[in-house]
């Protein structure tokens, strides 16, 4: 895993945007299209605000969701409204290139399968995304893959429904989808994540940390000084 150190959350967001932009340009050059998946959170929102200002082939770029809470449209707990506002309304991404998870469907299992097929139509079958941007929870979760959830053991689907976490079930990319992506970009900031970030770098943890089940191949961790406070690996800036 490659470590990229940032002084603070603002720099971490800018570095992450630069990494994503580089991946997207390469994907469009090599395959004619770029398909990425992003997570929610305050630092990722800053990352996307930075990304939208960069010179990219936006007509050939598609943005999917790593996960989404099962809640009605407009619910403030969902990520979609912020994604739409940042990348589409205030940004250059074509509206139909934002691939939102269909969490308002009556049958969520069918909706998850439909979403997988939608992604496969763009990124091939089996699904191979160009990049997935991941966060890291204080409990070691990533995407909506949380400790003890049966969705961690799903190997035959790339999109699945988790059990309730913090009051709501989630639709999420599964471990096979994350592992199959060409690149994984971890964005971790803040002192509250320091213990988990150290474990991610070390590749081992004292707790059941789903994040450590994600392959370390072609992976980079962008973290700020606060998140790296407990890291024993050399946190040299790249």
Residue 229 lies in a domain: no
Task: Name residues of the chain where pLDDT drops below 50.
Answer: 235-238
Those residues with Cβ within 8 angstroms of residue 228's Cβ, 6 or more apart along the chain or in another chain: 5, 194, 197, 198, 235
Residue 153 lies in a domain: yes
Residue 231 lies in a domain: no
Residue 233 lies in a domain: no
Report the pLDDT value the prediction gives residue 233, as an integer from 0 to 100.
53
Residue 137 lies in a domain: yes
Measured at the CA of 203, the angle between CA 17 and CA 39, to 5 degrees, comes to 30
Between CA 151 and CA 145 the distance in angstroms is 7
Cis amide prior to 24 (ω within 30 degrees): no
Report the pLDDT value the prediction gives residue 224, as an integer from 0 to 100.
97
Do the beta carbons of residue 211 and residue 200 sit within 8 Å?
Answer: yes
Residue 133: closest CA among 23, 236, 8, 33: 23
* DSSP SS3 for 154: coil
pLDDT in tens, 77-96: 999 999 999 999 999 999 99
Report the pLDDT value the prediction gives residue 237, as an integer from 0 to 100.
40
Between CA 127 and CA 32 the distance in angstroms is 16
Residue 210 lies in a domain: yes
* DSSP SS3 for 134: strand
CA 35, 36, 40, 41 torsion: positive or negative? negative
Domain count, the chain: 1
Give the range of the structural domain holding residue 71, as residue numbers without chain letter. 2-224
Report the pLDDT value the prediction gives residue 130, as an integer from 0 to 100.
98
The CATH code of the domain that includes 45 is 3.40.50.1360
Those residues with Cβ within 8 angstroms of residue 224's Cβ, 6 or more apart along the chain or in another chain: 5, 6, 7, 8, 9, 11, 12, 188, 189, 190
Residue 109 lies in a domain: yes
Residue 230 lies in a domain: no
Quote the distance between the C-alpha of residue 108 and its chain's center: 21
Q: DSSP code of 14?
A: H
Report the pLDDT value the prediction gives residue 49, as an integer from 0 to 100.
97
Report the pLDDT value the prediction gives residue 235, as an integer from 0 to 100.
43
Those residues with Cβ within 8 angstroms of residue 107's Cβ, 6 or more apart along the chain or in another chain: none
């Amino acid at each position: 895993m490659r470590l990229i150190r940032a002084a603070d959350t603002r720099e971490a967001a800018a570095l992450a945007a630069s990494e994503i932009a580089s991946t997207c340009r390469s994907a469009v050059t090599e395959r004619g299209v770029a398909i990425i998946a992003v997570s929610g959170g305050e630092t990722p929102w800053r990352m996307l605000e930075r990304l939208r200002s960069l010179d990219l082939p936006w007509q050939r770029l598609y943005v999917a969701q790593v996960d989404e809470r099962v809640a009605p449209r407009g619910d403030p707990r969902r990520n979609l409204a912020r994604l739409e506002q940042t990348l589409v309304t205030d940004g250059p991404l074509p509206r139909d290139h934002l691939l939102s998870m269909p969490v308002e469907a009556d049958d969520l299992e069918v909706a998850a399968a439909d979403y997988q097929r939608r992604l496969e139509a763009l990124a091939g079958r089996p699904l191979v995304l160009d990049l997935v941007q991941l966060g890291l929870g204080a409990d070691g979760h990533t995407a909506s893959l949380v400790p003890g959830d049966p969705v961690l053991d799903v190997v035959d689907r790339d999109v699945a429904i988790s059990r309730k976490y913090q009051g709501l079930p989630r639709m999420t990319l599964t471990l096979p989808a994350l592992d199959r992506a060409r690149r994984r970009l971890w964005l971790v900031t803040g002192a509250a994540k320091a213990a988990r970030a150290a474990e991610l770098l070390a590749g081992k943890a004292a707790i059941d940390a789903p994040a450590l089940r994600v392959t370390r191949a072609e992976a980079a961790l962008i973290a700020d000084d606060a998140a790296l406070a407990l890291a024993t690996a050399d946190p040299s800036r790249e």
